[in-house]
Structure 1
Amino acid sequence: MREIVLDTETTGFDPESGDRIVEIGAVELMGHMPTGRTYHQYINPERSMPQEAFEVHGLGDEFLADKPKFAEIGQAFLDFVGDAKLVIHNASFDMKFLNAELSWMGLRTLPMDQALDTLLIARKRFPGSPASLDALCRRFGIDNSSRTLHGALLDSEILAEVYLELIGGRQPDFALSSVTVEKHSGTTAVWAPKPRPAPLPSRLTEEERAAHAAFVEKLGDDALWSKS
Structure 2
Amino acid sequence: MNRTIDWNEILQLVFNATGETLYMVLLAGLFTLLIGLPLGVLLFISRSGGIYPMPQLHKSLGGLVNLGRSLPFVVMLIALIPLTRLIVGTTLGSTAAVVPITIGAFPFFARIVENALDEVDKGRIEAILAMGGDLRDVIFKVLLPEALPALVAGVTLTLVMLIGFSSMAGVIGGGGLGDLAIRYGYQRFNNQVMVVTVIVLVVLVQSVQSLGDRMVRSLAHRR
Common fold by TM > 0.5: no
Higher relative contact order (CA 8 A, sep 6+): 2
Larger strand share, 1 or 2: 1
Q: Greater Rg, structure 1 or structure 2?
A: 1
